[in-house]
Structure 1
């Protein structure tokens, strides 16, 4: 098994870009949010999923995710000219597949939308409309019999789901405008983070202050986090099942990979997590090794059955 060879757009020779692809069976183009980030601090934490992908046949990827460590909108393609050029440009290579990390950071950012616009009326009359946020103000909570769903804004979720659905469809249309038309697009779901005061250098925490601001009881924080991540997983899997409107989309259910949860209240590395929303080496290893099998089965034309969770050995110890 060989690790995925990861390069950036800057590594492509200007005179003969295809030369970098020689010697590899699979050629992949990657774009995504902070789970694909090439920032030095992220790689030092072994938290880039691409670095832990392994294949039976040699594979390489051009990773356009960039150096950013902060939350990023993967679907903001105006800030991703290299990805668009390498996908649709006149001299773009034919990629065997695309690797996308989509929706996780957008979900976190949507959850962070406050109940009130800063500086505006803090009374219930001054609330931001429910369809523009994922959490409900305390005055809007449902009955306790609803469980943690009482805190969740279904109208806000529909807004987010429509946004993500539209942008994924746009990404697939870009694929079909270039020489890689019809090639498989691989996406992953996300793991369920524990809301806790664990920041990265210069940013975060993310969910922890949000749930505090919304006065959600701390005993329910983990379940609220799970509710949101599972909503996203179900959305992504439903898109992959709709091959008429999302042709060639393949989604790996990362929520099915057992991970060690971070300890509530912990402020640093805990379990399989580097900080509140990013995996550490062991977490990346577990998800990436399972995702690798899913990807290679599709590339090889085999049925993409769910891969079992890998045992920790070798680089995963």
Structure 2
């Protein structure tokens, strides 16, 4: 029996065609962004590599995927009634785990979509460049994002799980990996993410590597904070897994398909880390 990845709106059709969820070794609910959905219009995501990785160990998994390309923690907490419905629905089986990838787009949006000097980045068009890229971050912007938006909206999802019969189910959180800021959008004529943010705020390219490391350090710290005081929440340690893309490249390079998403080889590396994390917690 092989693992199966399906979107939530496909579940009823699969049931009508004979799907038996209880026959899978694990049943896993997935919520999140493009790292769980798809990394570009024609490229897949982590689950497409994690499924065969689990199969290789003889562990067939039914993945029910609620993730949406470009989604944010803020929208998940405020508008994701689909997630709440899934954890509240009574089946003849329980989920064995919940996977969540969230927070990355919130940080990227706060850097890219705000006016220069607002959001997460300082505007170096109106002030001298600092000695280190990390000093281009606005600490107050990071703090506001995490405390006012990310933490409360994660709590919405977490509390929904705790109010359900899945309260003891382990939740695994994506900690991403640190990309390279470069002009490599997900599709032709699209906008890159970090590259656009840095250019808009007149940040010199020499500062980009240190700034990106600091920015994703904040992402990972925010995600890590969601596990504090919650023993059933686990961080998947993916940062540092991938070979960074070369600065200045504009497409697929090393383990990266575009600026912020891995390619097939990158997903396969990450899937191994995820399987190791899952197997340390899930019942054999």
TM-score range, shorter chain: 0.7 to 0.9
- Structure 2 residue 200 is the aligned partner of structure 1 residue 213: yes
Shift of 1:176: 1.4
- The TM-score with structure 1 as length reference comes to 0.78
Alignment gaps of 5+ in structure 1: 117-126, 302-317
Query: 2: CA distance between counterparts of 1:16 and 1:5?
Result: 13
- Structure 2 residue 185 is the aligned partner of structure 1 residue 199: yes
Shift of 1:182: 2.1
Runs of 4+ in structure 1 deviating by more than 4 angstroms, as ranges, are 14-19, 90-93, 140-143
How many equivalent pairs are there? 274
SS in 1 for 2:100: strand
Q: Is 2:154–2:226's contact at 8 Å kept on the other side of the alignment? A: no
Corresponding residue for residue 65 of structure 1:
67
Q: Is 2:99–2:172's contact at 8 Å kept on the other side of the alignment? A: yes
Mark the CA change 1:97 to 1:267 in structure 2 (over 3 Å): closer, same or farther.
same
Corresponding residue for residue 10 of structure 2:
11
Report which structure shows greater RCO (CA 8 Å, sep ≥6): 2
Q: Is 1:261–1:271's contact at 8 Å kept on the other side of the alignment? A: yes
SS in 2 for 1:187: strand
Corresponding residue for residue 173 of structure 2:
187
- Structure 2 residue 140 is the aligned partner of structure 1 residue 155: yes
Query: 2: CA distance between counterparts of 1:299 and 1:94?
Result: 13
Mark the CA change 1:15 to 1:262 in structure 2 (over 3 Å): closer, same or farther.
closer
Q: Over aligned residue pairs, what C-alpha RMSD do you find? A: 2.6
Shift of 1:263: 1.6
Mark the CA change 1:161 to 1:220 in structure 2 (over 3 Å): closer, same or farther.
same
Alignment gaps of 5+ in structure 2: none
- Structure 2 residue 5 is the aligned partner of structure 1 residue 36: no
Q: Is 1:92–1:178's contact at 8 Å kept on the other side of the alignment? A: no
User: Which residues in structure 2 correspond to 1:126-275 (within 5 Å)?
Assistant: 128=118, 133-138=119-124, 139=126, 143-144=130-131, 147-162=132-147, 163-201=149-187, 203-240=190-227, 242-243=228-229, 246-257=230-241, 259-275=242-258
